[in-house]
Amino acid sequence: MARSVLIAEDEPYILESLMFLMSRAGYRVRAERDGAKAVAAAVHSQPDLMILDIMMPTLNGFEALKQLRATPGLEALRILVLSAKGQEADRRRMMALGADSFVTKPFSNKDLLATVETLIAEPRAKPANAASDTS
Amino acid sequence: MADYTTGKRIRDRRLAQEMTQAELAKRAGISAAYLNLIEHDKRQIGGSLLGKIADLLRTDLADLTGSVRQRLASDVLEIARALGTPDVDGIRAAQFADRHPEWARIFIRLHRAYRDADETAIALSDRLSQDPTVRELSHTVLSRVTAIRSFAEILQQHGDIGHSDRERFTTIITDQSDELAESAREMITLLGGSLGDARPTSPAEEVDDFFIHHGNHFPSLEDAAGELRARFERQPGTLGSQIAERLAALSETANRHEPAPPAHMPETTVRFAQARRLVVADLPDVLKSVIDDDRLTTDAARERALRAVASYAAAALLFPYERFLETAEQARYDIDRIGAIFAGSFEQVAHRLVTLRRPGAEGVPFAFLRSDAAGNLSKPLSISGLRMPRYGGSCPLWAVHAAFAVTDRPIVQLAVMPEGERYLFIARNVKKRMAAYGEPPVTFSVMLACDVAYSDRIVYGDGFTAARTSLETPVGHNCRSCRRVDCGQRAYAPVMLAGADAQGTVAG
C-alpha cells in the first residue's frame, strides 16, 4: 500500500505544487490549509509523514507541532517543517519541539522529495514526546 | 603642521595669486621689508593687519592662522578613533589635513554619509523585524517566490505532464510573478518613507561646521545688532518695551515666520524669543547674507543656520559686545551674575561668552557643549587644544553629565586629560521651559570649558589655582581615544592600546 503524506499549508499555489510533487512520487496525499484542521486530520488519517508549514491560520506550526507530539498514537508520524525562517536558532527550536526535519522556503523540489523519501524509508527513531518550547 | 606658520601661509596664498611682496605690502599699508619679515616668521602678526591681509588675499583669518587645518585634523583624528583605527595619531591626522585639506573634507563628508546610511540601515532593520505590515509583506513575497520556483522546477523536471497541467502551471507562474512584482512595489512604497528622508549629511552637522568655520563670531551681525540697539536707545523706554512696541507695530506677515513663544516660558526665554523675532523682521538681508555660504548644502541646513544666526543676532542685540565683555571681565565670568545684570539665562549668557572673539577685544576663550539626559551632544564648539566631541559620545566623567544631578548651581571640575592638559569645566543643568502637569520637562546640561591658565580671570577658578592633584578629575575625550585603562567608567576599549589589559575594564 502506498505511503501517505499529509500537507498542512495555507498558500494555495505552494499547496498545489506540493500535492503534485507528492502524488507524482507515488504517495497518497491529503491536504489541509489550517493548523487546527491539520492536527485533527493527522489524528484521523494517521499519515506516515506530515509536511507542516509554520505560518498558518488558526493554529500556527509551532502549536500544531506541540499538539501532534503530545498526541498518543502519533509516535510514528514523521514531521517535516516548512519555514520561511532559515536561521539555525529556528531550526534548533523546531527540532526541540519534535520536528524530524526542516526545509526552508523557497525550497528545491528535488531536495524536498529526497528528504521526504529519507524520512519515510526509516522508522521514526526518536521517541515521540511533548517537547517543551525551550527557545 | 607646527612648521606651517601664519607667515608661510601668507606667502603661499600671495604666490598663488601671483602677487608680489611689494604689491601686497603697499595695499596693506606696510613696507615690503616688514611683510618679508612677517612671511619669514621674524615678526608676529595679528589683529587688524592680519584681517586686512586676509581680505586682500581673498581668504579668511582662520585660513591664515591655521585653525581651519587644526579643526580638520581634529575631525579626522576623531573619526579615525571612532572607526577604531589605531595607526592614526594626532601627527598623522595633522599631516593629512595640512597636505590634503580637500581630501580631508571629503573624508569627513564620507564619514557622515556612512554614519547616516548606517543609522538608516539600523532603523530599517528595526522596522523590518518589528513592523507587522513589513513582516506580512515579506511572508507574501517569500510565498510567491516559493510557488514560482516550485512550478518552474516541475515544468523543467516533468516532461510528461499533460497539456492542461502545463498551461495551468505556466499561468500560475505568470500570475505569481505579477503578484510578486506588486508585493515588491508595496514594499518599496512602505519603506520609501524611511528612505526618502535620508541625506548624505545632517543639517545639524553642516550648521556646526559653518559656525566653527566662522570661529563662532560674525562681525556683520554684531554691527547690525549694535545699530539696531543704538536706534532703540535713542528712544525713551527700556529695551524690552522698545522691542515689544516694535513687534506690535510689525505686520502680521512679518511676524508669521517667527511665532511668539508660549506664555508659560521663563521670562528670559520670552525676552530672547522677542529679540529673535525682531531681528528676523528687521535684519532679514543681513541674516541671509551671513548664511549665503556653500557649506550649507541643503534647504534644511540653511533653515537651521538661519535660525541659529537669528539667535546670534538676538544675543548680540540683548547683550551688546563691548558692554557684555566689560561686565563679564568685571564679574570674572560669573555666568549667573552676568545673567542677572543682562536678564539672560545661563545658556544664553554661556553661549554669548563663546562669541567674544573679536580680534583685539577678545574674552576668555571658552569651548561650549550641551548634552541631554541621554548623553546626546549638541552645539559643540571647540577651543585650541580641547576638542568637543562631534562623532560619538564624550567622556562620561565630564561635568556636563554630572550636572544633571545638581539642579540649583553650576558645578566646576578641574579636568585633566590623559596627555596632561588641564581645563576648567563649568556645567549647569538648565530647564528649557516650564512643564505643565503631565508634560515631561525639557532639560539640558550646558558646559563651558577653558584652559586652566585662565582660572585667575574667572570666578570658577577660585580654589583651583593651587596645584593639588586631589582637586583634579582625570578624564579623557571619549573612551575610544582615552588611555586610562583603569577607569571604572570605561564603556569601550581604547583603540590606541592593544592587549587584554586594555579590554578588561570595560564597564558592564
- Taking the domains of chain A in order of start, what are their residue ranges? 4-121
Q: Across all residues in chain B, what is the average pLDDT?
A: 82
Q: Tell me, yes or no, whether B261 lies in a domain.
A: yes
pLDDT score recorded for residue B506: 36
In angstroms, rounded to a whole number, what is the distance separating the alpha carbons of residues B366 and B368?
A: 6
How far away is chain A from the Cα of B83, in angstroms, using its nearest Cα? 29
Do B176 and B222 share a domain, yes or no?
no
Highest mean pLDDT among A131-135, B112-116, B213-217, B403-407: B403-407
Among B330, B281, B333, which residue's Cα sits nearest to residue B310?
B281
Q: How confident is the model at residue B260 (pLDDT cuts 50, 70, 90)?
A: low
- Averaged pLDDT for residues B244-265: 66
pLDDT (tens digit, 9 = 90+) per residue, B189-209?
766 544 444 444 577 777 877
Chosen domain end from B143, B176, B196: B196
Residues 6+ apart with CB under 8 A from B23: none
Please report which residue ranges of B235-345 form alpha helices under DSSP H: 239-249, 252-256, 267-282, 284-290, 299-318, 321-330, 335-342
Query: Mutate which of B138, B144, B150, B174 to disrupt the A interface (most A C-beta within 10 Å)?
Result: B150
Among B107, B32, B34, B98, which residue's Cα sits nearest to residue B63?
B98
Among B288, B205, B204, B216, which residue's Cα sits nearest to residue B61?
B216
CATH number, position B41? 1.10.260.40
In angstroms, rounded to a whole number, what is the distance separating the alpha carbons of residues B486 and B504?
A: 9
CA atoms within 13 A on the CB side of A23: 12
Render the burial of B320-346: b for 16+ CB within 10 Å, e for the rest: bbeebbebbeebbbbbebbbebbbbbb
pLDDT (tens digit, 9 = 90+) per residue, B342-361?
999 999 999 999 999 888 88
Set of cell numbers at residue B340? 542677572
Q: What is the CA radius of gyration of chain A?
A: 13
Q: Tell me, yes or no, whether B330 lies in a domain.
A: no
The domain total for chain B is 3
Q: Please tell me the CATH superfamily of domain A4-121, with its number.
A: Response regulator (3.40.50.2300)
| Range name among B60-64, B165-169, B279-283 with the lowest pLDDT average | B60-64
Burial of B161 (0-12, 13-18, 19+ CB in 10 A): middle
Q: Per residue of chain A (135 residues), what is the pLDDT tens digit? A: 789 999 999 999 999 999 999 999 999 999 999 989 999 999 999 999 999 998 887 788 888 999 999 999 899 999 999 987 666 777 788 888 899 999 988 899 999 999 999 999 988 765 544 444 433
Q: Tell me, yes or no, whether B238 lies in a domain.
A: yes
How many other C-beta atoms lie within 10 A of the C-beta of residue B227? 12
Do B82 and B52 share a domain, yes or no?
yes
In angstroms, rounded to a whole number, what is the distance separating the alpha carbons of residues B369 and B354?
A: 11
Q: How confident is the model at residue B502 (pLDDT cuts 50, 70, 90)?
A: very low
Do B306 and B229 share a domain, yes or no?
yes
Among B20, B35, B28, B19, which residue's Cα sits nearest to residue B53?
B28
How far away is chain A from the Cα of B181, in angstroms, using its nearest Cα? 17
Handedness of CA B37, B39, B41, B43 (dihedral sign): positive
pLDDT (tens digit, 9 = 90+) per residue, B282-298?
899 999 999 998 778 88
Interchain contact, A11 vs B143, CB within 8 Å: yes
Question: At CA B290, angle to CA B221 and CA B7, rounded to 5?
Answer: 90
Residues 6+ apart with CB under 8 A from A49: A3, A4, A5, A6, A77, A78, A79, A80, A116, A119, A120
Q: Tell me, yes or no, whether B19 lies in a domain.
A: yes
Q: Tell me, yes or no, whether B26 lies in a domain.
A: yes
Set of cell numbers at residue B411? 558645578
Do B143 and B90 share a domain, yes or no?
no
Long-range interactions of B413-416: CB distance < 8 A, separation 24+: B413/B473, B413/B475, B414/B452, B414/B464, B414/B471, B414/B472, B414/B473, B415/B449, B415/B472, B415/B473, B415/B475, B416/B472, B416/B473, B416/B474, B416/B475
Chain A contact set for B143 (CB, 8 A)? 11, 13-14, 84, 105
In angstroms, rounded to a whole number, what is the distance separating the alpha carbons of residues B213 and B205?
A: 12
Set of cell numbers at residue B316? 548680540
CB B346 within 8 A of CB B446: yes
User: In the predicted model, is pLDDT for residue B498 greater than 60?
Assistant: no
Q: Tell me, yes or no, whether B414 lies in a domain.
A: no
Does A113 contact chain B (CB < 8 Å)?
no
How far away is chain B from the Cα of A119, in angstroms, using its nearest Cα? 21
Do B155 and B223 share a domain, yes or no?
no
CB B279 within 8 A of CB B250: no
Position of cell 586682500? B56
Q: Tell me, yes or no, whether B454 lies in a domain.
A: no
In angstroms, rounded to a whole number, what is the distance separating the alpha carbons of residues A36 and B440?
A: 48
Do B147 and B217 share a domain, yes or no?
no
Residues 6+ apart with CB under 8 A from B182: none
Interchain contact, B150 vs A11, CB within 8 Å: no
Q: Is the model more confident about B116 or about B173?
A: B173
Q: CA of B44: how far to CAs of B6, B7, B25, in Å?
A: 9, 8, 15
Do B217 and B190 share a domain, yes or no?
no
- First CA to last CA distance, chain A: 39
- Averaged pLDDT for residues B50-60: 84
Does B142 contact chain A (CB < 8 Å)?
yes
Interchain contact, B149 vs A107, CB within 8 Å: yes
pLDDT score recorded for residue B440: 77
pLDDT score recorded for residue B129: 60
Strand partners, A28: A4
Q: Does the complex come out with an ipTM higher than 0.95?
A: no
In angstroms, rounded to a whole number, what is the distance separating the alpha carbons of residues A22 and A48?
A: 13
Query: Domain containing B47: what range?
Result: 6-101
User: In the predicted model, is pLDDT for residue B447 greater than 90?
Assistant: yes
What's the gap between Cα B145 and its chain centre? 47
Chain A contact set for B153 (CB, 8 A)? 108-110
Do B250 and B187 share a domain, yes or no?
no
Interchain contact, B143 vs A20, CB within 8 Å: no
CA atoms within 13 A on the CB side of B327: 19
Enumerate residues 26 to 55 of chain A having a beta carbon within 8 A of any beta carbon in chain B.
55
Residues 6+ apart with CB under 8 A from B488: B505, B507
In angstroms, rounded to a whole number, what is the distance separating the alpha carbons of residues B221 and B232?
A: 17
Q: Which amino acid would we find at residue B266?
A: P
